[in-house]
Structures are given as structure tokens and as C-alpha cells.
Amino acid sequence: MLKTPLCDLLGIEKPVFQGGMAWIADASLAAAVSEAGGLGIIAAMNANADWLRDQIHELRRRTDKPFGVNVMLMSPFADEVAQVVIDEKVPVVVTGAGNPRKHMPAWIEAGIKVVPVVASVALAKLVARAGATAVVAEGTESGGHIGELTTMVLVPQVVDAVGIPVLAAGGIADGRGVAAAFMLGAQGVQVGTRFLVADECTVSEPYKELVLKAKDISTRATGRSTGHPVRALKTRFTNEYAKLEAEGADPDKLAEFGTGALRRAAKEGDVERGSFLCGQVAGMVRERQSAADIVDDLVRGAEKVLAGAGAWVR
């Protein structure tokens, strides 16, 4: 059975995190992943404390397994959400979109395991010094907010730079990707795009259909000119955004154009005005499955690949 020190550290059975996708990673999906032995994660996104508290309670009605909350540090509600995870005794906090040092002392004092998502060696070293339990090294192949470095390049450099467990994210959708992550030195993986089509994922039906129809070149990154690049499926919205960006549109205009686009995609299935965040690996996502089957496939697939790796060594 595939198991790493990270599993013991977090009390999980399998070294698989489900990505904290805004407007997507709710109690339904997170509970299913945790129940399957991975770490399900609720995305706090831009929601307020009451919404998050309700989601945590709903998850606990569905499972008693460990879970996490993704705190988006750019959220206007970040401070109150940071307190909710303490009040609710959330086992693991995953952070994104910023530097979490402001909140880490309180979380650590409360016994919470802090696992920041990082896109650079510098940030990985900074949060490790601040007491992070582990880090997620996320490559630019990922969906949503992205950095510059690829997973293949970023993960081994982060592994070499910090003395805490590293999870790999970006471009991982099957056992081959999981096995590759372990060969780079990771102790676990974070997967987002494949869980978009999980039975327990409450994302809109058009969203799931677009993911299932995606090919290897079906995503594009926009927003690099604003300093906040995002990867999504190629749609009318992303094409128009890219055109505005190429024409040198003011960042405020771009921000206004993108406001609400993810919610329109995730909850309304608006294929005209929605932003369908998705990783480059979407072309490998071909079928709907339960979250448990996805977790099992990732783990069993990796075990098979790793067991056969010796065939290449003479």
C-alpha cells in the first residue's frame, strides 16, 4: 500500500489531497475524499465566516475523517475565516494566494497543521521557517491561480530547500503522475482537475462536460500582465480576456471584466461569461467517477508504476 510519513503526520490513509477549488470544493466533495482516505479540503474562497462554519459542520455530519480548509489570503474575509478554523478545530489548513505568516502562530498554537501552497523556493523556505507542517509545490500546469515554474522543475528544488514534507501539484491526474511526483521527492500529491468530474462534486453540469471534452491544448493562462495569472479552459470569456490584455487594457478594467466569472461557470454553467478554471491535464480526464474511485485509481496506479520501475534499471 502506498503510504508516506506525510500520512502519519496528518492522520490520513493515502497521500492524496483534493485541491481547494473556489466555488467547487465544498463539504460534499471534501467529505467524500476524506472518507476515501485522502484529505478532502473545503475552499473558504471569498466566503464569510458563517458560510465556512456551515460547511465544516456539514462535512462533519458526513465523515469523521481528517479534513482541511483552504484559506485564500487575498479574501476580504481572511481574518475572520482564520479564526473560524481555530474555533472549529480544523485539523489542517492549506493556504493560497499570499503569505500566511500573519496567521500561522495562532494556527500552530491551536494545534492546526499548516500546509501552504507555494510557487517558488523562496516562499517555501519562508513558510518552513515559520513552522509549516508541509508545503504544496504547485506548478504552472495547475488550474486557477498559477506561478511560472513547471511541476517538474519546482518540486525537486523545493524538496532540496526545505526539511519538511512536500506535496506536488499541477499536471497530476493518474498513477503515473503520482509516481513521478514521488520520484521528484514529494511525499504526496494535490489533485484538482480530476475531481471536477467526481460524482460528489457539485459543480455545474456544463463545467463537467467541458472538462471531459478537453484536449491537451484546451487551456490557456491569462492575467500575467496583472501579476495574477490564472489558467482556465479556452472559452469565449478567456478569449475576450486575453484580447483585452493583449491590447493593454487597464488592470481595473480587467478585474471588472473577470468579477464573478468563476461563480458563473461553477454554479450557473454559463459557457459564454464563465471562467472554467482547469489544469492542463484535463485532456487525461475521460470519465465520471466517485471520489473514492478517483483516490483509489491514483494510489493503485502509482503502486503499479512504482512496482514496475525496476524493469528500466539494468
pLDDT digits (tens, 9 = 90+) for 57-69: 999 999 999 999 9
Would the pLDDT of 314 be above 80?
no
pLDDT value at position 57?
97
**Residue in this structure with the C-alpha cell 480576456, named with its chain if needed:** 241
Give the pairing of strands 230-233 and 144-145: antiparallel
Quick one: cell of 222?
491569462
C-beta separation of 167 from 189 below 8 A:
yes
Instruction: Report phi then psi at 165, rounded to 5.
Output: -60, 145
Mean pLDDT calculated for residue range 33-60: 95
Percent composition of the chain: helix, strand, coil (DSSP 3-state, to 5): 45, 15, 35
Helix (H) or strand (E) holding 10: helix 5-10
Is residue 314 classed exposed, middle or buried when 0-12, 13-18 and 19+ CB atoms within 10 A define those classes?
exposed
Mean pLDDT calculated for residue range 49-77: 94
Q: Which of 137, 168, 142 is nearest to 279 (CA)?
A: 142
pLDDT value at position 38?
97
Mean pLDDT calculated for residue range 280-284: 96
Mean pLDDT calculated for residue range 139-150: 94
Helical ranges in 120-277 per DSSP H: 121-129, 151-161, 175-183, 205-213, 236-246, 251-258, 261-263
Taking all residues of the chain, what is their mean pLDDT, rounded to a whole number?
94
Question: In order of start, what are the domains of the chain with their CATH numbers?
Answer: 5-202+286-312 (3.20.20.70), 219-277 (no CATH)
CB within 8 Å of 61: residues ≥ 6 apart: none
At residue 235 the predicted structure's pLDDT band, cuts being 50, 70 and 90, is very high
At residue 75 the predicted structure's pLDDT band, cuts being 50, 70 and 90, is confident
Would the pLDDT of 295 be above 90?
yes
Whole-number Å distance between alpha carbons of 210 and 221: 17
At residue 223 the predicted structure's pLDDT band, cuts being 50, 70 and 90, is confident
